[in-house]
């Protein structure tokens, strides 16, 4: 689960991480009032979207007067911001963060994340702050410092000293940075983050150490431990189709291809997507209908799959176990009546009550292309998607 920068800032504050003063605004007038209250001569106006790369996409601008704050805010609020991470459609901006301008002496990259292969949390840090860390990793990997963190020990002072020394810090600034790093680790662990990325962490001309940006993601599987985090969800930043699918109780992930898949079981759904790719096709989604699928759920799944104009064919792949083939077949027939089927439908069905399921589909007289194996089903779907 992702949250906005302004929400992450509040959490950082609760953990006594120092941040530059700022507040979030929902309209241009409010933005101006906040800037006035903050005082100073420069303000950063920052679009609040669940994506990075805002600076380059025009989502972070500096204003030098209250009029300018108001003007920039009025332009940003209501726009769809396109960045490298949003895709072409962009993300809607409904709030802007007004932050007191700071004079940057140097910028660093700091990121806490989970290294699954190492089964450990890891701190990545670099003196190349403000840049895309992916670029640094590709071009100057030696400029990234990496520390695996013992979950019980936490980030020790010794480790934090070593990291900040490698970043080139010393003296009072280093002491401040060490505290910031240890507190950031505290946030990461306590909040069950999957990512806490500060890019840039800055040292100001006045010698303060501040996170100037904060990207905080939570581990969805740990959300039950943080009921307060659920209140931070912003549905406007989520893919509307995925939201609808989750509300219907489907495990659904939107993809870029044109072959929609409806499968029972996550493993089988992955195998189905692999097999489609093996035959040269591209899946339009991952969809696990789960063990307890009802005809209503199948209908919801069909509606969601057909709502994407890119979809050229639907591939249903069912292995009947606890979920019986006849139940799914009834669901398919009902769904096809409820949602006008506009694309070819390929069905592969094996397992419990297989014959019964196939009979229901035959008797429905629906134009279904049937297949006996996953390979055959995928090949037929790929050919149909290509218009053959």
* Stretch near ligand GDP under the rule CB under 6 A, chosen from 53-61, 178-186, 242-250, 376-384: 53-61
Which of 17, 34, 35, 60 is the binder for ligand GDP (CB under 6 A)? Answer: 60
In the DSSP assignment, the letter for residue 323 is S
Residue 105 contact among Mn ion, ligand GDP, none, beta carbon within 5 to 8 Å by kind: none
3-class state of residue 147 by DSSP: strand
* Stretch near Mn ion under the rule CB under 5 A, chosen from 56-64, 77-85, 86-94, 207-215: 207-215
Residue 54 touches ligand GDP, criterion: CB under 6 A? yes
Residue 190: how many CB atoms within 10 A of its CB? 13
Q: What is the DSSP string of 174-231?
A: HHHHHHHHHHHHHHHHHTTEEEEEEEEEEEETTS-EEES--EEEE-GGGGGG-HHHHT
Residue 357 touches ligand GDP, criterion: CB under 6 A? no
Q: How far apart are CA 67 and CA 171, in angstroms?
A: 40
Q: How far apart are CA 180 and CA 261, in angstroms?
A: 47
Q: Which of 30, 128, 197, 379 is catalytic?
A: 197
Q: Which of 109, 128, 210, 330 is catalytic?
A: 109
In the complex, least distance from residue 129 CB atom to Mn ion, rounded to whole angstroms? 9
User: What sign for the dihedral angle of Cα 271, 272, 274, 275?
Assistant: positive
Residue 109 is a catalytic residue: yes
Q: Across-strand partners of 202? A: 107, 210
* Stretch near Mn ion under the rule CB under 5 A, chosen from 9-17, 199-207, 308-316, 345-353: 199-207
Which of 5, 23, 30, 213 is the binder for Mn ion (CB under 5 A)? Answer: 213
In the DSSP assignment, the letter for residue 8 is H
In the complex, least distance from residue 32 CB atom to ligand GDP, rounded to whole angstroms? 17
* Residue 131 vs residues 45, 53, 91, 139, 199: alpha-carbon distances, Å: 19, 10, 22, 12, 8
Q: How far apart are CA 287 and CA 242, in angstroms?
A: 10
Radius of gyration of the chain (CA): 26
Residues of span 113-152 touching ligand GDP by CB under 6 A:
130
Instruction: Label the pairing between strands 345-351 and 313-320.
Output: parallel
In the DSSP assignment, the letter for residue 350 is E
Q: How far apart are CA 155 and CA 123, in angstroms?
A: 9
Is 104 or 270 the residue whose CB approaches ligand GDP more closely?
104
Which of 4, 52, 252, 284 is the binder for ligand GDP (CB under 6 A)? Answer: 52
Residues of span 200-219 touching ligand GDP by CB under 6 A:
200, 212-213
* Stretch near ligand GDP under the rule CB under 6 A, chosen from 44-52, 70-78, 242-250, 364-372: 44-52
Q: Across-strand partners of 112? A: 123, 196
- Cβ within 8 Å of residue 373, ≥6 positions away: 348
In the complex, least distance from residue 12 CB atom to ligand GDP, rounded to whole angstroms? 13
* Stretch near Mn ion under the rule CB under 5 A, chosen from 19-27, 192-200, 356-364, 376-384: 192-200
Q: How many residues bind ligand GDP (CB under 6 A)?
A: 17
Two structure tokens written together for 5: 């920068």
Two structure tokens written together for 379: 């090949």
Residue 199 touches Mn ion, criterion: CB under 5 A? yes
In the complex, least distance from residue 236 CB atom to Mn ion, rounded to whole angstroms? 21
Residue nearest ligand GDP (C-beta atom): 55
Binding site for ligand GDP (CB under 6 A): 44, 46, 52-55, 60, 62, 99, 101-102, 104, 130, 199-200, 212-213
Q: Catalytic residues, which ones?
A: 109, 197
Binding stretches for Mn ion (CB under 5 A) = 199, 213
């Amino acid at each position: 689960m992702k949250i906005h920068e302004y929400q992450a800032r509040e959490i950082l504050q609760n953990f006594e991480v120092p941040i530059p003063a700022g507040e979030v605004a929902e309209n241009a007038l409010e933005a101006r009032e906040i800037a006035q209250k903050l005082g100073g001569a420069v303000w950063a106006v920052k679009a609040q979207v669940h994506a990075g790369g805002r600076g380059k996409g025009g989502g972070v601008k500096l204003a030098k007067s209250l009029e300018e704050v108001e003007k920039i805010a009025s332009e940003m609020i209501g726009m769809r911001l396109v960045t490298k991470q949003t895709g072409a459609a962009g993300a809607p901006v409904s709030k802007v963060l007004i932050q007191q301008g700071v004079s940057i002496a140097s910028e660093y990259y700091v990121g806490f994340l989970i290294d699954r292969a190492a089964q450990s949390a890891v701190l990545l840090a670099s003196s190349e702050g403000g840049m895309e860390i992916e670029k640094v990793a590709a071009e100057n990997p030696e400029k990234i410092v990496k520390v695996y963190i013992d979950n019980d020990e936490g980030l020790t002072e010794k480790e934090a000293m070593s990291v900040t020394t490698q970043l080139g810090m010393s003296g009072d600034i280093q002491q401040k940075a060490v505290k910031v790093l240890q507190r950031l680790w505290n946030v990461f662990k306590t909040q069950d983050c999957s990512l806490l990325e500060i890019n840039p962490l800055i040292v100001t001309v006045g010698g303060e150490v501040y996170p100037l940006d904060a990207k905080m993601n939570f581990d969805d599987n740990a959300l039950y431990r943080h009921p307060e985090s659920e209140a931070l969800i912003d549905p406007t930043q989520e893919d509307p189709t995925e939201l609808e699918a989750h509300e219907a109780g489907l495990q659904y992930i939107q993809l870029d291809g044109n072959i929609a898949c409806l499968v029972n079981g996550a493993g089988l759904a992955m195998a189905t997507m692999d097999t489609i790719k093996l035959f040269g096709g591209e899946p339009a989604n991952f969809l696990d209908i789960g063990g307890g699928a009802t005809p209503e759920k199948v209908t919801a799944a069909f509606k969601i799959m057909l709502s994407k104009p890119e979809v050229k064919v639907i591939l249903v792949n069912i292995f009947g176990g606890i979920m019986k083939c006849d139940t799914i077949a009834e669901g398919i027939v009902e769904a096809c009546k409820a949602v006008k089927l506009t694309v070819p439908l390929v069905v592969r069905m094996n397992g419990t009550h297989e014959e019964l399921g196939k009979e229901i589909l035959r008797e429905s007289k629906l134009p279904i292309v049937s297949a006996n194996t996953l390979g055959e089903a995928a090949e037929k779907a790929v050919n149909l998607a290509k218009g053959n």
